[in-house]
């Protein structure tokens, strides 16, 4: 058994990248690498997937090699500590081997020699902005400020390319790409902006990805950046004594944030209309084909979710309405099951029931209560996101659940008593 476990573990470990270079050569010719220790007649090989044990009697040879940490120390002892180029080479080697702490320490040593060393600064995550070296987070904040200030040229030609060079995580890549996309859009480079938003859609998850994809589609459909607004956006309203800003109907440039928002709202309204059409079809099917009705409600709900991803909460009222319809359908099912339960309950009083017939009735009643219990749980689940609007439905479901649990307990006691 031990031999099988060892073989399986070693096969898995062969696909992992190890950080040690000790080699264990077995008598049957197999070779494994890891940090090796010998203890009580066994050879312990530590690898990323864990420690395995091999009987010392099966080992032909152990080749001891220095670990990456030991190799780093050896390399560091051999180089000239005043040679910035040699230190940077060592830092890059250390980073490739996963020795991030050692890499950072060596790069900081380089900066003590040459505070303005460009490569060392970039490797440490610095960006040069206005002749000053700043950290990535500060540079990103500055990039956002330049976007809001309309400084698109310096942003696109200098700051963003520098930020791209030092991104180290997918999140950082997305943040830089977001600023780049809006910079191209505000600068009037609509084709490039469309490409950036498409890339963002591929790198993010809903609801962000849906919104970015729609923006890309809008810009692709309007490569010159002109969009015809059909109604004022946002609708003029008095807010704390002042009128809300509005974009008037007619052609306008998508460079303006309000125009893009109006275009997104138009797209969301189109999707809402599709969802409403499905809801009308579903309502007609409720009494004829409940399964088809549920399927159409589900399809409509997905459309409303997409609309909300484009413009937050624009379809919330319709999503609430779908949940109301679903609750009504579930309630009809519950009432049907409850009527069956009452009919079975009426039969329990008959004196001519055999013990097996009585037990069968109890079992069927338990099954019905279980179904009702599950339906009430479903109501609470789908209503939870809309507690404010559906508080009466939630309260009613909770009350019914209490009654169902009480009945279930009575039946349990009846079964146990018999």
- Show which of 77, 108, 124 is a domain's final residue: 124
DSSP string across 248-273? PSEEEETTSHHHHHHHHHHHHHHHHH
Domain that holds residue 108: 69-124
- Let me know whether 178 and 114 are in one domain: no
Question: Using omega within 30 degrees of 0 as the cis cutoff, is the peptide bond preceding 207 cis?
Answer: yes
* Residue 5 pLDDT: 33
The pLDDT tens digits of the residues spanning 341-386 come to: 999 988 877 767 788 888 899 999 999 999 999 999 999 999 999 9
C-alpha–C-alpha distance, residues 208 and 65, integer Å: 49
- Let me know whether 147 and 205 are in one domain: yes
List, as own/partner pairs, every contact residues 382-390 make where C-beta atoms lie below 8 angstroms and the sequence separation is at least 24, other chains included. Answer: 382/323, 382/326, 382/327, 383/323, 383/327, 386/316, 386/319, 386/320, 386/323, 389/320, 390/320, 390/323, 390/324, 390/327
Query: Is the pLDDT score of 409 beyond 60?
Result: yes
- Show which of 124, 144, 171 is a domain's final residue: 124
The pLDDT tens digits of the residues spanning 179-205 come to: 999 999 999 999 999 999 999 999 999
In a domain, 417, yes or no: yes
In a domain, 347, yes or no: yes
Query: Residue holding tokens 């950080």?
Result: 19
Q: Nearest-5° angle of CA 323, CA 329, CA 330?
A: 85
In a domain, 144, yes or no: yes
Which tokens go with 353? Answer: 């029931």
Q: Are strands 31-39 and 42-47 parallel, antiparallel or unpaired?
A: antiparallel
- Let me know whether 412 and 347 are in one domain: yes
Which tokens go with 408? Answer: 């279930």
In a domain, 321, yes or no: no
- Let me know whether 204 and 140 are in one domain: yes
Query: Is the pLDDT score of 71 beyond 60?
Result: yes
C-alpha–C-alpha distance, residues 32 and 222, integer Å: 60
In a domain, 259, yes or no: no
Query: Is the pLDDT score of 20 beyond 80?
Result: no
Instruction: Give the number of domains in the chain.
Output: 4
The pLDDT tens digits of the residues spanning 222-252 come to: 999 999 988 887 765 444 444 555 678 889 9
- Let me know whether 50 and 93 are in one domain: no
Query: Is the pLDDT score of 410 beyond 60?
Result: yes
- Show which of 35, 50, 65 is a domain's final residue: 65
In a 3-state reduction of DSSP, which class is residue 243?
Answer: strand
- Let me know whether 161 and 205 are in one domain: yes
- Let me know whether 161 and 197 are in one domain: yes
- Let me know whether 138 and 221 are in one domain: yes
- Let me know whether 137 and 220 are in one domain: yes
CATH number of the domain encompassing residue 15: 2.30.30.100
In a domain, 266, yes or no: no
pTM of the model: 0.71
The secondary structure element, H or E, covering residue 244 is none
- Let me know whether 94 and 142 are in one domain: no
- Let me know whether 206 and 119 are in one domain: no
C-alpha–C-alpha distance, residues 209 and 214, integer Å: 9
- Let me know whether 172 and 209 are in one domain: yes
C-alpha–C-alpha distance, residues 3 and 11, integer Å: 12
In a domain, 205, yes or no: yes
In a domain, 326, yes or no: no
């Amino acid at each position: 058994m031990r031999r099988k476990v060892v073989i399986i573990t070693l096969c898995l470990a062969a696909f992992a990248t190890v950080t040690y270079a000790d080699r264990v050569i077995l008598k049957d010719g197999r070779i494994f690498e890891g940090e090796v220790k010998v203890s009580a007649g066994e050879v312990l090989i530590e690898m990323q997937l864990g420690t395995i044990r091999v009987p010392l009697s099966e080992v032909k040879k152990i080749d001891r090699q220095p670990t990456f940490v030991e190799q780093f120390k050896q390399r560091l002892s051999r180089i000239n500590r005043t040679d910035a180029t040699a230190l940077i080479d060592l830092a890059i080697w250390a980073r490739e081997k996963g020795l991030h702490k050692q890499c950072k320490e060596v790069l900081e040593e380089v900066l003590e020699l040459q505070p303005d060393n460009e490569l060392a600064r970039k490797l440490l995550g610095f960006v040069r902005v206005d002749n000053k070296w700043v950290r990535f987070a500060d540079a990103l904040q500055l990039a956002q400020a330049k976007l809001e200030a309309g400084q698109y040229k310096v942003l696109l030609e200098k700051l963003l390319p520098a930020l791209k060079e030092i991104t180290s995580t997918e999140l950082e890549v997305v943040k830089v790409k977001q600023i780049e996309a809006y910079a191209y859009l505000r600068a009037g480079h609509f084709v490039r902006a469309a490409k950036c938003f498409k890339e963002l859609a591929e790198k993010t998850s809903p609801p962000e990805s849906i919104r970015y994809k729609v923006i890309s589609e809008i810009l692709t459909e309007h490569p010159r950046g002109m969009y015809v607004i059909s109604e004022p956006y946002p609708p003029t309203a008095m807010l704390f004594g002042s009128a809300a800003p509005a974009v008037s109907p007619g052609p306008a440039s998508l460079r303006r944030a309000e125009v893009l928002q109006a275009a997104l709202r138009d797209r969301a309204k189109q999707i809402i209309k599709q969802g409403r059409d499905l809801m009308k079809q579903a309502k007609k099917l409720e009494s004829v084909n409940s399964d088809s009705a549920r399927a159409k409600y589900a399809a409509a709900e997905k459309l409303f979710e997409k609309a909300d991803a484009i413009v937050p909460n624009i379809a919330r009222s319709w999503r609430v309405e779908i949940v109301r319809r679903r609750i009504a359908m579930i309630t009809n099912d519950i009432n049907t099951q409850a009527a069956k339960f009452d009919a079975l309950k009426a039969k329990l009083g008959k004196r001519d029931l055999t013990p097996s017939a009585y037990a069968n009735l109890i079992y069927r009643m338990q099954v019905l209560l279980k179904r009702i219990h599950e339906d009430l749980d479903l109501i609470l689940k789908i209503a939870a996101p809309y507690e404010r609007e559906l508080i009466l439905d939630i309260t009613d479901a909770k009350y019914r659940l209490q009654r169902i649990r009480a009945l279930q307990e009575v039946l349990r006691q009846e079964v146990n008593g018999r």
